[in-house]
Amino acid sequence: MKKQALQAKFKIHLQIAPVFVILGFLLVACGEDDAATPTPIASEPVATTAATPTLFASPTAVPSATPPPTETPPFAGISIGDPYAPELGNAGYDVWEYDLIMQLDPAVENIDATVQISGEVTAAEIETLSLDFVGFEIAEVLLDNRPVAYTHLGDKLIIQPSLPFTAGQMFTISVAYSGNPVERPSRYVGFASSVGMSFVDGQSIYVLSEPDGSRFWFPNNDHPRDKATYRFEITVPQGLTVVANGRLIQEIESEIGRTFIWEHDYPMASYLATVVVGEFERIEDASPDGIFLRHYVNDVAQTEFDSATADLGEAIDWMSDRFGPYPFEAFGYVTADVSGVSLETQTMVLLANNMIGQRTVMHELAHMWFGDWVSLDSWQQMWRNEGFATYVQLMWETQDDPEDLQLAIESFRSAVEENGDTFPLGDPPPGQLFSFKTYFGGAVFVHELRQEMGDEAFFGGLQNYFATYGGGTASDDEFREIMEAAHGAPLDEFFAEWLE
């Protein structure tokens, strides 16, 4: 993810600016109104209900059928096991595929959907199976094509079959639902009034789900530890286009509108799933090495987009040379009427119409490796997503010139010190997950690690990291062990010094 609040701080022009100008700008730029208290997104209304997000559901933000939360919610203990985000996910099963069938109309703030979830039970035996799902009127839940008992308690949809689920059992759950998405701030995203799917002025629709927003628009196991493939079958009124992850397979005309079928056959964390609806020009291209590029660009963004992506093909090949082959079937961007935020939605990056520049474009491209192909085992380790994406963006910008890179890193270091966040890089408070320190402190640590290891071991280690954990998740410890193997020496003290 990238916020304008952070983006705007670094108008450094490395090739021409002397050190004192760079430092001077940053010192001026990094005042108290920085990322520590991020600027609210202007285009989104401030939530009037549930202004204080709590760990579990706010009683005002869920359907009336839902009882108010208690001190020990009935679903306490249901978790995928991330200690940093214990309210998310369920460790008892593994989703293989989500099939999202939706009717959407920007003029009507309503989702009308049937979501089919196929997977396998991994726990020895579980009485119930829970999905993360906030709000909506549920019309029907089927287990293996038969109606099944369920309760919607707080933010969990709990499936209650007559017999327990057993290890190895394959299942298909189908949930039919409709309604207006609940608007509630995420406890991790201090700068937005809501997460998930947003409808804009009756004109367009976009999705911003990092880290816990996907449960606000479809039922899922909402944590990167459970990745799955996706199929989207989205119907919209004539004249509009649907953009999602992966490949556009088919477009079907019907009396009710136009249906777009997209498929993404690579494992994807649920927060990276996207559906964007609007009017776009489709642009197709390929990198010099042949990676398929397709973009969906709004009229208002065309000029900035063309300029920001002029070197995209070279950049994607350049990153592939350093980190390993580009991992997915295609890459591209979709521009949206959202203010000041972009997101690394897998294979189809969301760019805000008002925030299109080369820096953002490259940052989000780097996330295809760092965050998407290898995802976080715990949200606590966000520095590994944002620190690397910020560092790789800087590598591209400086063309990895050691002097320019060092100069920029020193300016990052000063800015982080000036900003004054005291929490450890490896353990940000939830409200500071997307903090200045996560991005720029993370990039400084990545640079220091590279200096410590030397280029051969550093890039060799990274390529091994992607070869080993690609398609899944990795923890900081697993990352460190891979880098130690490449380095040929322990790095535990070095990591502890930076992260703890």
| Chain residues that interact with Zn ion, rule: CB under 5 A | 1-2, 386, 389
DSSP 427: S
* Rounded Cα gap, residues 415 and 201, in angstroms: 38
Question: SS3 of 216, please?
Answer: helix
**Least CB distance from residue 204 to Zn ion, whole Å?**
23
Cβ of residue 385: shortest distance to Zn ion, in angstroms? 6
Q: Are 267 and 257 in contact (CB under 8 A)?
A: no
Instruction: Give, to the nearest 10 degrees, the angle between helix 19-29 and helix 402-419.
Output: 30
Q: Which is closer to Zn ion, CB of 2 or CB of 227?
A: 2
> For strand 257-268 and strand 204-208, is the pairing parallel, antiparallel, or unpaired?
unpaired
Q: How far is the CB of 7 from Zn ion (least distance, A)?
A: 10
Q: Which CB sits closer to Zn ion, 242 or 343?
A: 343
What is the number of the residue whose Cβ is closest to Zn ion?
A: 389
Whole-angstrom CA distances from 170 to 23, 218, 223 are 58, 21, 20
Any idea how long the chain is? Answer: 500
Report which DSSP code applies to 379.
Answer: G
Look at residues 283, 295, 294, 300 and name the one whose alpha carbon lies nearest to residue 337.
300
CB of residue 367 to Zn ion, shortest distance in Å = 6
| Contact (CB, 8 A) for 466 and 367 | no
Distance in Å, CB of 372 to Zn ion, minimum: 11
Our CB check for Zn ion shows the closer of 3 and 231 to be 3
Minimum Å gap between C-beta 1 and Zn ion is 5
Question: ∠ CA 68-70-72 to the nearest 5 degrees?
Answer: 145
**In this complex, which beta carbon is closest to Zn ion, that of residue 150 or of residue 391?**
391
The DSSP code sequence of 166-197 is ETT-EEEEEEEEEEPPP----TT-TT-S--EE
Task: Using the CB atoms, write b or e for 343-382: b if 16+ within 10 Å.
Answer: bbbbbbbbbbbbbbebbbbbbbbbbbbbbbbbbbbbbbbb
Give the closest residue to 289 by CA, choosing from 266, 323, 315: 315
What SS3 state is found at 222? coil
Nearer to Zn ion, 1 or 351 (CB): 1
Q: Which is nearer to Zn ion, 175 or 272 (CB)?
A: 272
- Minimal distance, residue 366 CB to Zn ion, in Å: 8
Q: Which is nearer to Zn ion, 305 or 439 (CB)?
A: 439
Which of residues 105 and 364 has its CB atom nearest to Zn ion in the complex?
Answer: 364
How deeply is 237 buried, as exposed, middle or buried, from its count of CB atoms within 10 A (0-12, 13-18, 19+)? middle
Six token digits for residue 41: 């997104």
CB of 153 or CB of 368, closer to Zn ion: 368
Q: Rounded CA gap, 154 and 68, in Å?
A: 8
Query: Considering the complex, what minimum distance in angstroms separates the CB of residue 210 from Zn ion?
Result: 9
Instruction: In whole angstroms, give the CA distance from residue 79 to residue 91.
Output: 6
Nearest approach in angstroms of CB 300 to Zn ion is 23
- Please report how close the Cβ of residue 371 comes to Zn ion at its closest, in angstroms: 7
CB of 183 to Zn ion, least distance (A): 24
- Residue (262 or 391) nearer to Zn ion, CB: 391
Strand partners, 297: 281
Q: Burial-class residue 418 by CB neighbours within 10 Å (0-12, 13-18, 19+).
A: middle
Task: Tell me the C-alpha to C-alpha distance, in Å, between residue 150 and each of 131, 160, 169.
Answer: 11, 5, 19
| Distance in Å, CB of 370 to Zn ion, minimum | 9
Of 232 and 369, which CB lies nearer to Zn ion in the complex structure? 369
Considering beta carbons, is residue 130 or 438 the nearer one to Zn ion? 438
